[in-house]
């Protein structure tokens, strides 16, 4: 495994056919702030995050995951990572250079082994953000992104070998084997996870809330509004974080979470957790049971954008 050059998760970018409806959902219902909306692109920020945006929505004919973006500490780290990937035969979409997205910065894009577009950048201007107050049920920041992969072992190996991610924990099933791998790039239990699925797609994007009360208020707001709930509210074993999963208007799964575990990376040993143990899925016992029907909701539609770089 290489030295870790990625510092944190920045944003997740989605292409959406029903742009206006999605924009309304992510702002009015989910609680993100539209920073810039122009020409069918919206940059949506989380109130408590220094990132310029946590979600980008792009008006498109076909639904797809445009990209997942990570941060690096410096332009030299960006260059070093691009050179490392290129030498290893990873396909670069764009060479390192100035970014034209909000906050600017310096970065590049590449395809991972499944054909997803990934961006790594440094020197993005810090957004004016604020402390989220007690009772405010809006996302503080993007917590993590989970990706579906048909050959998840290879995808986990890609992110560990090329990008320096470390394995925090693994979920297993007695008959189906290993099902989900939690990967970290800092002290947070996971910024990224890879799930076993018949096809490449987005499993879910998760947003950190201020605390338990705000997380429950947000969950309740969506329930009252009739937004389709997939799973929750509950508390996972792996990561020890709370969860409430909902579907956005196009069937992407989005999660409210809080209290994701911070690890001592020097002493941490990954666990193998049996997903059929009810305490592993939900320590509280408050969530609806994790069934095949529930699991399939987060399989999402097969991503039509693999090995095709997004136009912007």
The DSSP bridge partners found for residue 145 are: 192, 205
Find out whether 10 and 51 touch, Cβ atoms under 8 Å. Answer: yes
Residue found under tokens 């579906």: 148
Residue (of 230, 239, 234) closest to 191 by Cα position: 239
DSSP annotation string for 237-279: STT--EEEEEE-TTS-EEEEE----B--TTT---EEEETTSHH
Q: What SS3 class is residue 282?
A: coil
Cis ω before 309 (30° cut-off from 0): no
Q: Give the dihedral of Cα atoms 304, 296, 119, 258; nearest 10 deg.
A: 150
pLDDT of residue 216: 98
pLDDT of residue 1: 55
12 backbone dihedrals φ, ψ, rounded to 5°: -125, 135
User: Cβ contacts of residue 257 below 8 Å, gap of 6+?
Assistant: 143, 206, 207, 208, 209, 215, 241, 242, 243, 244
Residue (of 84, 77, 165) closest to 123 by Cα position: 77
Q: What is the DSSP letter of 303?
A: P
For the chain, list the domains and their CATH numbers: 6-122 (3.10.180.10), 141-297 (3.10.180.10)
Tell me whether residue 264 is exposed, middle or buried, using C-beta atoms within 10 angstroms of its C-beta: 0 to 12, 13 to 18, 19 or more. Answer: exposed
pLDDT of residue 39: 83
Q: What SS3 class is residue 216?
A: helix
pLDDT of residue 3: 83
Could you state, in chain order, the average pLDDT of each consecutive group of 10 residues for the chain (312 residues)? Answer: 88 96 97 85 97 97 97 98 97 96 97 98 96 97 98 98 98 94 98 97 98 98 97 96 97 97 96 94 93 90 95 94
């Amino acid at each position: 495994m290489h030295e870790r050059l990625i510092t944190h998760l920045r944003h997740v970018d989605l292409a959406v056919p029903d742009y206006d409806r999605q924009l309304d959902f992510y702002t009015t219902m989910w609680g993100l702030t539209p920073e810039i909306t122009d020409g069918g692109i919206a940059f949506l920020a989380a109130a408590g995050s220094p990132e310029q945006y946590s979600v980008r929505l792009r008006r498109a004919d076909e639904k797809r995951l445009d990209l997942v973006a990570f941060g690096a500490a410096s332009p030299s780290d960006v260059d070093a990572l691009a050179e490392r990937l290129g030498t290893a035969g990873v396909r670069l979409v764009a060479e390192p250079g100035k970014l034209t997205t909000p906050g600017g910065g310096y970065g590049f894009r590449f395809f991972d082994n499944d054909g997803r577009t990934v961006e790594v950048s440094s020197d993005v201007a810090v957004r004016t953000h604020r402390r989220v107050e007690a009772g405010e049920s809006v996302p503080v920041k993007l917590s993590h992104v989970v990706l579906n992969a048909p050959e998840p072992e290879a995808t986990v190996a890609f992110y560990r070998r090329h990008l320096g991610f470390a394995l925090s924990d693994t979920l297993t099933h007695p008959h189906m084997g290993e099902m989900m791998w939690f990967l970290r790039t800092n002290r947070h239990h996971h910024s990224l996870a890879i799930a076993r699925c018949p096809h490449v797609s987005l499993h879910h994007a998760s947003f950190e809330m201020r605390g338990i009360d705000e997380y429950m208020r947000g969950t309740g707001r969506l329930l009252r509004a009739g937004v389709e709930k997939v799973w929750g509210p509950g508390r996972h074993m792996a990561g020890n974080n709370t969860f409430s999963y909902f579907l956005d208007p196009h069937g992407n799964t989005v999660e409210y979470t809080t209290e994701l575990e911070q690890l001592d990376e020097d002493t941490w040993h990954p666990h193998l957790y049996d997903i059929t143990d009810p305490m592993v899925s939900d320590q509280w016992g408050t969530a609806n049971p994790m069934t095949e029907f529930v699991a399939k909701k987060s399989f999402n539609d097969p991503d039509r954008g693999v090995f095709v770089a997004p136009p912007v």
